[in-house]
Amino acid sequence: MTGLTPFAAATKAENFAQIDVPLWAWAALVGGITALLIADLLIVHRRPHAVSFREAAIESSVWIAIGVSFTAVMAWAFGGDAAGEYITGYLIEKSLSIDNVFVWAVLFSYFAVPAKYQFRVLFWGIFGALVLRAIFIFAGVALLERFEWVLYVFGAFLVVTAVRIARHNETEVHPERNPVLKLLQRVLPSTTEYDGQKMFTRRTGRRLATPLFIVLVLVETTDVVFAIDSVPAILAVSREPFIVFASNAFAIMGLRALYFLLAGMAGKFRYLNIGLGVILGFVGVKMMVAEFYHPPQWLSLGVIAAALAVAILASLRADRRDPRPVAADLD
């Protein structure tokens, strides 16, 4: 037992880190995430206001620093393998979430959500996303543990999704065609008028949903769609629920600040879909061949980081030669 980190398991699986996570560690993780969310809502964004580019840049840097710094906590508590799986999963989720940010921009523009109320929608959207991701993660791990063949299904699904994303611009969204929106308009009493940052309001004695609630539901449903891609992708690099949930949570919590930083720049990332396709394709193949070959963690991390970096740099270089109009206006 010598040389083990504080909570590392005495043995490791051949391909993935296996760790013993005490109940208090789960409580500390969930408690810490909850405290950060509450502080963000009640202290940083206590009053509704339009988030400036400078404010978004500072907040995004802080959230990224928190997420990356948690790698050191993972290394101390569970060892280098667990830390490597965490940071790789974090990078996968962060990169795939960029598309989600641009979808939010389209939704906010379509419903003309006032800039000062957008943060409130995203706060509850992120909260709901964390709950949904936890369900998806535990379900995914349970499936893989019980049915080994699901590994190949997940891998093949990611490869097919990679091709689709690489060939098409996934940020082209048409809210008016959304079946969830059509269903809400049919069954939910609602108004087209905003009432501050309220999700529901009263008109002529009736309780009605405001457009802010409609947007929140659509934000949640789009996250479900993105989770179908991102959760299997992270399960390709780790099978420990604690690692997968932590990497998802810390990546997702910084999306609000990232939205205000990037939402008006969708047109500048013309090759992002290709980079995301490469990432999903790589992890899909990695998942399907895991029984025969498991690449070292540094190689997975390097491929993912390189694909994202090349896509962004190539996009910015192309934009300097041939600028595109921005996709959304936050005002």
- Encode pLDDT of 59-78 as tens digits: 889 999 999 999 999 999 99
pLDDT computed for residue 7 by the predictor: 54
Angle at 40 between CA 130 and CA 171, to 5 degrees: 55
Alpha carbon distance 118, 50 (integer Å): 8
How many residues does this entry show for the chain?
331
Output 320 or 175, whichever has higher pLDDT: 320
Q: What is the mean pLDDT of the chain?
A: 80
What percent of the chain shows pLDDT beyond 90?
Answer: 15
Residues whose CB is less than 8 angstroms from the CB of residue 201 and which lie 6 or more positions away in sequence, other chains included: 191, 193, 195, 207, 208, 210
Averaged pLDDT, 134-150: 82
- Judge whether residue 3 has pLDDT over 50: no
pLDDT computed for residue 176 by the predictor: 65
Q: Residue 235 in contact with residue 151, Cβ under 8 Å?
A: no
277-287 pLDDT, tens per residue? Answer: 888 888 888 77
Domain spans, the chain: 53-321
Q: Which residues pair with 203 in a beta bridge?
A: 206
pLDDT computed for residue 1 by the predictor: 40
pLDDT computed for residue 280 by the predictor: 81
CB atoms within 10 A of CB 302: 13
pLDDT computed for residue 14 by the predictor: 57
Residue with tokens 């070959």: 293
Binned at pLDDT 50, 70 and 90, residue 92 comes out as confident
Q: Token pair of 40, please? A: 């963000």
Q: Is 51 in a helix, a strand, or coil?
A: coil
What percent of the chain shows pLDDT beyond 70?
Answer: 88
pLDDT computed for residue 331 by the predictor: 44
Q: Which of 205, 211, 203 is nearest to 185 (CA)?
A: 211
Q: Residue 19 in contact with residue 78, Cβ under 8 Å?
A: yes
Averaged pLDDT, 215-240: 82
pLDDT computed for residue 71 by the predictor: 95
DSSP 8-state secondary structure symbol assigned to residue 52: P
Q: Which of 150, 12, 160 is nearest to 79 (CA)?
A: 12
Determine which helix (DSSP H) or strand (DSSP E) holds 244, and give its type and residue range. helix 241-253
Q: Which of 150, 90, 93, 96 is nearest to 288 (CA)?
A: 150
Phi-psi region of 51 (alpha: psi -120 to 50; beta: other; left: phi over 0): beta
pLDDT computed for residue 5 by the predictor: 54
Angle at 50 between CA 270 and CA 178, to 5 degrees: 55
pLDDT computed for residue 72 by the predictor: 95
Greatest alpha-carbon pair distance for the chain in Å reads: 72
Q: Token pair of 111, please? A: 């419903």
pLDDT computed for residue 4 by the predictor: 47
pLDDT computed for residue 329 by the predictor: 44
CB atoms within 10 A of CB 132: 16
Q: Token pair of 321, please? A: 């030669």
Q: pTM here?
A: 0.78
Looking at 52-61, 228-237, 322-331, which range is the least confident one? Answer: 322-331
Helices (H), 111-210: 115-146, 150-167, 179-187
- Judge whether residue 233 has pLDDT over 90: no
Cα dihedral 95, 158, 316, 172 sign = negative
